[in-house]
């Protein structure tokens, strides 16, 4: 089980900004929110981009059940203009933030894109890892997933149950390659 606690405050996340350059806190508590899902992505990761339809499907499926999704762009070269083009190209209507100093990356422990972190209202990472098991390894995928890890975790959360599998290995573009 993941025991990390995300102490997310605007002061601690000084470099997390919205697309207008203003400080943003995608983990800010709000009435009715049972979990925040941070979807770490980059504009040029082919695996991340292939997951856009699934991310949008899950966000729509859980929106009215108290789950808030945010896209997190941790690569410094993904400027606001580039991110806006990416959002338009993939028809994303989710909030997006730029994690310019990789503060959310460090807080959650993600290592690749796409990778997700589900955080409860107390700031605990209750699931971290892959969206599903479609990607077996880099360059090797299945026609369809056999396990929908993020969906299973969110079903548990909205059902008031513990997440059965709190951590999985995500396959994707390695963040350290971008963070120099």
Dihedral sign computed on CA atoms, order 179, 172, 65, 118: negative
Burial grade of 30 (CB within 10 A; 0-12, 13-18, 19 or more): exposed
Q: What is the pLDDT of residues 82-141, one digit of tens each?
A: 999 999 999 999 999 999 889 999 999 999 999 999 999 989 999 999 999 999 888 888
Mean pLDDT computed over 76-85: 95
pLDDT of residue 53: 97
The yes-or-no verdict on residue 3 having pLDDT over 60 is: no
Nearest C-alpha neighbor of 122 from the set 77, 86, 157, 168: 157
Nearest C-alpha neighbor of 35 from the set 64, 14, 75, 66: 66
pLDDT of residue 139: 83
Do the beta carbons of residue 73 and residue 98 sit within 8 Å? yes
Nearby residues of 176 by Cβ (< 8 Å), 6 or more positions away = 111
Mean pLDDT computed over 54-78: 96
Query: Distance between CA atoms of 176 and 180, rounded to whole angstroms?
Result: 7
Query: Distance between CA atoms of 71 and 27, rounded to whole angstroms?
Result: 12
pLDDT of residue 48: 95
Do the beta carbons of residue 15 and residue 99 sit within 8 Å? yes
CATH 3.20.20.150 fits 31-177, yes or no: no
CA distances from 157 to 17, 62, 87, 167 (A): 27, 11, 27, 14
Domain ranges for the chain, please list them: 31-177
Q: What is the pLDDT of residues 7-63, one digit of tens each?
A: 444 345 557 999 999 999 898 888 899 999 999 999 999 999 999 999 999 999 999
Do the beta carbons of residue 36 and residue 76 sit within 8 Å? no
């Amino acid at each position: 089980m993941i025991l990390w606690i995300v102490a997310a405050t605007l002061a601690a996340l000084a470099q997390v900004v919205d697309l207008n350059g203003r400080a943003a806190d995608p983990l800010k508590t709000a009435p009715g929110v049972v979990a925040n899902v941070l979807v770490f992505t980059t504009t040029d990761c082919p695996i991340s981009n292939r997951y856009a339809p699934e991310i949008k499907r899950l966000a729509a499926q859980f929106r009215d059940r108290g789950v808030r999704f945010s896209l997190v762009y941790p690569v410094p070269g993904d400027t606001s203009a580039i991110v806006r083009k990416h959002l338009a190209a993939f028809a994303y209507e989710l909030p997006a933030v730029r994690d310019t100093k990789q503060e959310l990356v460090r807080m959650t422990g993600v290592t690749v894109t796409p990778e997700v972190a589900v955080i409860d209202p107390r700031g605990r990472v209750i699931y971290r890892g892959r969206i599903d098991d479609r990607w077996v390894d880099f360059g090797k995928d299945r026609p369809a997933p056999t396990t929908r890890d993020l969906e299973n975790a969110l079903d548990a959360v909205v059902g008031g149950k513990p997440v059965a599998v709190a951590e999985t290995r995500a396959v994707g573009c390695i963040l350290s390659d971008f963070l120099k």
